[in-house]
Amino acid sequence: MSFLLFLSDAIIPIFIVVIIGYGLLTNCPIYDTFIHGAMRGLKTVVHILPTLIGLLLAVGILRTSGFLLWFAGLLAPVCELLSFPSELLSVAFVKLFSSSAATGLALDIFKQFGTDSFEGLSTSIMLSCTESVFYTMSIYFMSINIKKTRWTLPCALLSTLAGIIMSVILARMMLSI
């Protein structure tokens, strides 16, 4: 166990030393290569920044306007038929756009129901097994200029739905044990 603790503390410095050593052995201009990579990274950040700001602003507006609570209330009868807690709808919807905003909603659920409740457990599992689909697609595809996403969105939404369904099933199983 102590070796793993040492390795977790030393992995990044070891990685840096290996990269610098490889650069010296191959006569690569290490600093110039680093600067070039940093410039390309900065250009990528500037390129995707408007999309990122738009996504975060939209999620903030949805959350503070009360739309998510209204949406959950609207679909509550359907959720009841499916044995799905309607309180999780807002987390599932926001998670498609922003993990940090979904974490904020999860904290609200933890305060209301508790972390060991069915809702709290389902939320924790859901946050762990779903992806922020629209955020990830917009950042990755914008950074490499892909316009046609083909099957990425339907497959990502299907896998997210599977993660949401399984989070409820697993939470029920864990609480019944």
Domain assignment present for residue 12? The answer is no
pLDDT for 120: 94
| Residue 103 belongs to domain spanning | 48-176
pLDDT for 162: 95
pLDDT for 146: 82
Domain assignment present for residue 68? The answer is yes
Residue 27 DSSP SS3:
coil
pLDDT for 104: 85
Domain assignment present for residue 37? The answer is no
Residue from 26, 23, 25 nearest 37 by CA: 23
pLDDT for 149: 82
Residue from 52, 34, 71 nearest 132 by CA: 52
Sorted by sequence, the CB contacts under 8 Å of residue 161 that are 6+ apart come out as: none
Residue from 142, 140, 55, 139 nearest 95 by CA: 55
Is the entire prediction scored with pTM above 0.85? no
Domain assignment present for residue 2? The answer is no
Domain assignment present for residue 78? The answer is yes
Domain assignment present for residue 139? The answer is yes
Low-confidence ranges of the chain (pLDDT < 50): none
